[in-house]
Structure formats: C-alpha cells, structure tokens
Amino acid sequence: DAKTTQPNSMESNEEEPVHLPCNHSTISGTDYIHWYRQLPSQGPEYVIHGLTSNVNNRMASLAIAEDRKSSTLILHRATLRDAAVYYCILRDLTFGTGTRLTIIP
Amino acid sequence: DTGVSQNPRHKITKRGQNVTFRCDPISEHNRLYWYRQTLGQGPEFLTYFQNEAQLEKSRLLSDRFSAERPKGSFSTLEIQRTEQGDSAMYLCASSFKQGPRNFQETQYFGPGTRLLVL
C-alpha cells in the first residue's frame, strides 16, 4: 500500500501563506490525494483533493508534482482558526501522524 | 442535512464490560467507515460498509471488535470485554461512492465517541 510522509510540525505567522508538504513516492496512477484537517476535539474535516492537476477551493490550494510523488497544501493567508493537524491520505486510508500546524499571532 | 452524528459522545466503562457506539451517516451516503484514534496519532482505519455489506474487516483490532449496519443506514460498533488499551476516540465517517475507483471519494467525519476504560 502507498504511504505518505509529512513533517511532524510546522509554524507560520498569521496572515502569511503556509505550504504543507506531503511525500507519496509509491503512489499508484489512479490514487487521488486527499487532505483533511483535524481541529482539537473534533473529527477530521475534508480540505481538498486532486489527482494530477493543481486544485483550488475556498479553503486551500493543492499543488501536485508532475511525477505525483509529492504534493503541497497551500493556505494562502493563515488565520488562527487554521491551527490544526493536517493529514494527506491515499487510497489505503492510512492517516499517519500528520503535520501539526501552529499559527503565531 | 445535519452531517454525521455519533452517540454517545463520551463513554466511561469498567474493564471487562461491553460497549456499543452508534453512528448515523449523512442520509444519501452509501459508505460508512469506522476509525480509532489514540492520543497523538492519526485515525486508524478499522472497517467499512457499502450499504449493509461489510466489505473490509481484516483491520479490526481483535475479535472483540465487531460492527454492523443492518439496514444500510446507521451502524453500530461493539467492543466486548473492554480493556484499558481500548481507551480512545472512535470516529465514524460516511461517503457516497460513485464510479469504480475504491476509496477515492471524500469522507465526512462525525465528532467521535471518546471511550475511557477504567
């Protein structure tokens, strides 16, 4: 099964862009890349997903490398409400430990 | 639509007791998933249903864990003879599967049931 690798933690200043990386070097050609985030004491919530092309929605952007072995979740202007654990997952539904994002006021 | 709901939100039990959790998915969703999450870890996939059929249960943690979705709507997760190591958050998610690709659809999670086994 394909696995993902993410940094354990990242910090960013409020109102600045945040780039959260995810490596998935063994991704198969048909795997979508999904990103979820989990705020304290809540279940995970969907952020964005993509297959090959870069994707944008109201929450974030997803940049997918041309070889699909990595992707980057982009929060364009981080707010304090974006402080959460961010997970990228593939078809095997393995969440791992994710990246804990801290926003500095 | 009120999203995925789970009951109870919190459960405290004594070691050796049986517990049952309920999940009500989003109404039109045909898939339902159960996860366990321990402190500091991401959700750990346990099992899933498509309608009433349980299509994957090899990742249930032991034979003390069982799940049902009898009418393809709500689901229950039962843990028999609970142990202290079962203390965790139990999450339910639902999705609507379209097309042939497996596990490619977006999941919507409930708030979870937090279990404490004394």
pLDDT by residue (tens digit) across A64-104? Answer: 999 999 999 999 999 999 999 999 999 888 898 899 999 99
The confidence score (pLDDT) of residue B75 equals 97
- Most B CBs within 10 Å: which of A4, A93, A99, as the mutation test of the B interface? A93
pLDDT level of residue B116 (50, 70, 90 thresholds)? very high
Q: Chain B, 49-108: which have a CB under 8 Å from a chain A CB?
A: 91, 93, 101-104, 106-108
A32 neighbourhood in chain B, CB within 8 Å: 101, 104
Chain mean pLDDT for chain A:
93
Task: Please name the amino acid found at residue A83.
Answer: A
The confidence score (pLDDT) of residue B107 equals 93
Put simply, the answer to whether B42 touches A31 (Cβ < 8 Å) is: no
The predicted model gives B60-81 an average pLDDT of 93
Of B100 and B51, the one with more pLDDT: B51
The confidence score (pLDDT) of residue B61 equals 84
| Strand, helix or coil for residue B92 | strand
Interface size A-B, in CB pairs within 8 Å, comes to: 50
The confidence score (pLDDT) of residue B100 equals 67
The confidence score (pLDDT) of residue A13 equals 96
The confidence score (pLDDT) of residue B83 equals 97
Put simply, the answer to whether B44 touches A95 (Cβ < 8 Å) is: yes
* Structure-block tokens of residue B20: 């049952």
Nearest-CB residue to B43 (from A31, A44, A49): A44
- Express each pLDDT in B9-65 by its tens digit: 999 999 999 999 999 999 989 999 999 999 989 999 999 999 999 988 888 889 999
Contact A73, A23 (CB under 8 A): no
Contact B20, B80 (CB under 8 A): no
- Express each pLDDT in A13-54 by its tens digit: 999 999 999 999 988 888 899 999 999 889 999 999 999 989
Put simply, the answer to whether B42 touches A34 (Cβ < 8 Å) is: no
Q: Is the pLDDT score of B102 beyond 80? A: no
Nearest-CB residue to B103 (from A85, A87, A91): A91
Query: Which residue from B6, B30, B31 is spatially nearest to B19, judged by alpha carbons?
Result: B6
Element (H, E) at B31: strand B31-37
Q: Is the pLDDT score of B1 beyond 60? A: no
Closest alpha carbon within chain A to B4: A43
Chain mean pLDDT for chain B:
92
pLDDT level of residue A3 (50, 70, 90 thresholds)? confident
Strand order through the sheet with A33-38: A9-13, A99-104, A84-89, A33-38, A45-50
Task: Please name the amino acid found at residue B41.
Answer: Q
Question: Residue A97 to residues A87, B4, B58: CA-CA distances in angstroms?
Answer: 7, 23, 22
Q: Is the pLDDT score of A2 beyond 70? A: no
Contact A62, A53 (CB under 8 A): no
The confidence score (pLDDT) of residue B44 equals 94
A31 neighbourhood in chain B, CB within 8 Å: 104
The confidence score (pLDDT) of residue B101 equals 64
- Most A CBs within 10 Å: which of B59, B106, B108, B114, as the mutation test of the A interface? B106
Task: Please name the amino acid found at residue B19.
Answer: V
B40 neighbourhood in chain A, CB within 8 Å: 97
- Alpha-carbon distance of B75 to B31, in angstroms, equals 11
